[in-house]
């Protein structure tokens, strides 16, 4: 079994008001990831996710287009220490 990894994605573009966080939650749960998605005051969305590297790569690829109404301009990935999230939630 692969070790858990932690990634942070800052997503830029038209990503608020288009069900981006809720769609991210569905995709993350489908991939078996834990963490959260939240809107930021600058119009971006931050996603913190934990899981196996292959699932995190798949989430990053999904974030590059997002749900149908989104217009993603840029995804900035970074890594961080594992937090031990339980489930995947949408935060305000």
Residues with catalytic function: 21, 39
Q: Give every CB contact of residue 53 below 8 A, 6+ residues apart in sequence.
A: 2, 5
């Amino acid at each position: 079994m692969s070790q858990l990894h932690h990634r942070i994605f800052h997503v830029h573009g038209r990503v608020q008001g288009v069900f981006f966080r809720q769609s991210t939650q569905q995709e993350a749960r489908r991939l078996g990831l834990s963490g959260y998605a939240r809107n930021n005051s600058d119009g971006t969305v931050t996603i913190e996710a934990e899981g196996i590297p292959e699932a995190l790569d798949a989430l990053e690829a999904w974030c590059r287009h997002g749900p149908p109404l989104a217009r993603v301009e840029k995804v900035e990935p970074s890594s961080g220490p594992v937090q031990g999230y339980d489930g995947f939630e949408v935060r305000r």
